[in-house]
Amino acid sequence: MNNESTILDRFIFRFISVLVASLYVSELGSIHSIFERLLTIEFYYEFGVTFLIAITVTELLYRINQVLSRKYPLHDHTAMRILLQIVFGLVVPAVLVFLMAALYFGINGINIFKTDYLVFVFPLVVVLLILLNLLFILVPYFVHAYRLQKEAGTVRNLDRENMSSGLLNPVKVLDGASVRYINANDILLAYIIEGKVLIKCSESGELLTDHTLDELESLLPGDQFFRINRKLIAKKDCCHGYRPESYGKLEIEVSPVPPVPATVSQNKAKAFKEWIGSRIPID
Domain coordinates of the chain in residue numbers?
A: 7-146, 170-276
CA nearest to 74, candidates 11, 134, 5, 14: 134
Helix (H) or strand (E) holding 26: helix 11-27
Per CATH, which fold does 170-276 belong to? Answer: OB fold (Dihydrolipoamide Acetyltransferase, E2P) (2.40.50)
- Round to whole Å and give the CA distance between 282 and 253: 8
pTM above 0.85, yes or no: no
- The per-residue pLDDT for range 86-125, each reduced to its tens digit, is 999 999 999 999 999 999 899 989 999 988 888 888 998 8
CA nearest to 137, candidates 207, 81, 76: 81
- The per-residue pLDDT for range 252-283, each reduced to its tens digit, is 999 999 999 999 999 999 999 999 886 655 55
143 burial via Cβ count (<10 Å: 0-12, 13-18, 19+):
middle
In eight-state DSSP terms, residue 240 is: E
- Round to whole Å and give the CA distance between 227 and 246: 20
Helix axes of 41-71 and 78-86: crossing angle, nearest 10 degrees: 160
Give percent above pLDDT 70 in the chain: 86
pLDDT at 80: 92
